[in-house]
């Protein structure tokens, strides 16, 4: 997502001050290697996440029976919402879709495709769930890649992966008057995004680097989300308990 930030510092400069071979500096050292080998993959992640999230936004617009302008609005908001918040938090010079307006065009085209074809799908909500799962598994690695490129700490890398993957969908569901998938009881959604981002950071910390770390991030995210949808995987949820009474 607009990763052309100028020449990267040598890895030896990024590791100054680390406290050990597996410290924060080790993650930063691998960062330069990861991003240097991934320009094409990051470009693909940008466009793929925008395209698929735009399709989900347009499907929600179809369920709300909006007009074409509403379709484009929902698609674009969903497609760029997470990446926009990420770029603002990280203080990047330019938000990714402002640097590449063609991403907005992709979202608009996706919206119009859904506007003319949504009626052909018997279960649009089921399609929405699977497209959203795929979009999540693409957007989380995109967020991780941007944070790694900026040399941020592992904690920030994980948070930016989660933010990029989930915020656009949250906006889509709230505006479309749907139950937010992020907050749906018993669903592995935030957990799936967190698990994928954490897997990427751990693999970079172990020295794997390059394509493998981000690929594993996407796979872990999708498997957790799909497992929740198909197999009912979930974490325990809070259950209210009656207060203790003194006898």
Q: What is the pLDDT of residues 83-97, one digit of tens each?
A: 999 999 999 999 999
Residue 241 has pLDDT above 50, yes or no: yes
Tell me if 240 is assigned to some domain. no
How many distinct structural domains can be found in the chain? 1
Picking from 112, 159, 136, 124, the residue whose alpha carbon sits closest to that of residue 53 is 136
**What are the two backbone dihedrals, phi and then psi, of residue 42, each rounded to the nearest 5 degrees?**
-65, -40
pLDDT (mean) for 190-212: 92
Q: Does residue 213 fall inside a structural domain? A: yes
- Residue 221 in any domain: the answer is yes
Within a domain: 55: yes
In this predicted structure, what is the pLDDT of residue 208?
Answer: 86
Q: What is the pLDDT of residue 107?
A: 98
Torsion of CA 115, 120, 121, 127, to 10 degrees: -40
Is there a domain that residue 244 lies in? no
Residue 12 has pLDDT above 60, yes or no: no
Mean pLDDT, residues 203-208 taken together: 92
For residue 6, tell me if it sits in a domain.
no
Domain membership flag for residue 247: no
**For 110-136, what is the mean pLDDT?**
93
**Res 36: pLDDT:** 52
More confident residue, 75 or 209: 75
Q: Is 242 among the domain residues?
A: no
Measure the CA–CA gap between 138 and 219, rounded to whole angstroms.
9
**176: domain range?**
20-230
What is the gyration radius of the CA atoms in the chain, in angstroms? 19
CA distance 6 to 97: 19
Which has more confidence, 83 or 150? 83
When pLDDT is averaged across residues 233-247 and rounded to a whole number, the result is 81
CA dist., res. 190 & res. 235, Å (int): 11
pLDDT at 210: 66
């Amino acid at each position: 997502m607009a990763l052309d930030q100028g020449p990267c510092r040598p890895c030896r400069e990024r590791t100054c001050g680390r406290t050990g071979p597996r410290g924060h500096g080790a993650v930063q050292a691998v960062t330069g290697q990861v991003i240097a080998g991934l320009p094409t993959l990051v470009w693909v992640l940008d466009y793929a996440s925008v395209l698929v999230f735009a399709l989900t936004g347009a499907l929600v617009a179809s369920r709300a029976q909006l007009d074409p302008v509403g379709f484009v609005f929902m698609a674009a908001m969903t497609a760029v919402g997470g990446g926009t918040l990420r770029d603002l938090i990280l203080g990047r010079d330019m938000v990714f879709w402002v640097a590449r307006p063609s991403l907005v065009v992709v979202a608009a085209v996706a919206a119009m495709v859904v506007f003319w074809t949504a009626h052909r799908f018997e279960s649009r909500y089921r399609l929405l769930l699977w497209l959203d799962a795929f979009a999540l598994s693409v957007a989380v690695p995109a967020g991780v890649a941007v944070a790694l490129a900026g040399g941020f700490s592992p904690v920030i890398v994980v948070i930016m992966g989660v933010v990029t993957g989930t915020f656009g969908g949250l906006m889509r569901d709230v505006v479309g008057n749907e139950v937010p998938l992020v907050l749906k009881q018993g669903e592995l959604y935030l957990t799936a995004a967190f698990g994928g981002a954490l897997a990427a950071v751990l693999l970079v910390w172990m020295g794997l680097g390059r394509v493998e770390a981000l690929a594993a991030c996407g796979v872990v995210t999708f498997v957790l989300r799909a497992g929740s949808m198909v197999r009912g995987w979930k974490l325990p949820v809070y259950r209210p308990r009656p207060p203790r009474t003194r006898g």
